[in-house]
Amino acid sequence: MDLYAVVVTALWAMVPAYVPNNAAVLAGGGRPIDGRRELGGRRLLGDGKTWRGTAAGVAAGAVLALGMNRAATPIGEALAVDLPEFAAAAVLALPVGAMLGDIGASFLKRRAGRERGAPFPGLDQLDFVVGAVALAAVAASGWFGDVFTVPVLATVLAVTPVLHIGMNGLAYLAGLKDEPW
């Protein structure tokens, strides 16, 4: 696979994991997942992790993956790349894993004494990737091995922080986020 195909495949395969956190921000609010419980005098997760946001994020990623399956062939032909369709398990594993990765990062940030919205470089940009990739590797292992080759994984790890920072900056400018990170 040439570099162009690797980059297109990496971006395509990660869209259902890239979208959930954005959808969660738009649909957020409501009951926090941690029920306002604390551990060591600090919230487990914080008010930013809600049931409604998590459900909306998972639903958005899954619906998008299903739509992308229908569009894989025509878009792939237009881009001159053989785009993979998402296996049924991957349709859910990617967005669920992305949300779990983000929730896990919030837990780690609270344990490290960081407040909601405080930057945690590296973790902030890759938490959802680790969650999505790990869950997809377990839940859809055959599909995962065919799609997430070493070059595709390397591209995901290199491109995601740049995309994450850029999208968060745009969301901040649009008034959707309180911080630009």
Rounded to whole angstroms, how far apart are CA atoms 147 and 128?
A: 18
Domain that holds residue 93: 3-173
Residue 180 lies in a domain: no
pLDDT for res 117? 79
Q: Residue 178 domain-assigned?
A: no
For the stretch 106-155, pLDDT in tens is 999 999 988 887 888 888 889 999 999 999 999 999 999 999 999 999 99
Residue 33: both structure tokens together: 């997942």
pLDDT in tens, 31-82: 999 999 999 899 999 998 999 999 999 999 999 999 999 999 999 999 999 9
pLDDT for 25 equals 84
Q: 67 in a domain, yes or no?
A: yes
Residue 99 contacts residue 21 (beta carbons within 8 Å): yes
Number of domains in the chain: 1
Sign of torsion over alpha carbons 64, 118, 124, 105:
negative
Q: CA 26 to CA 150: how far, in whole Å?
A: 33
Asked if residue 63 is part of any domain, the answer here is yes
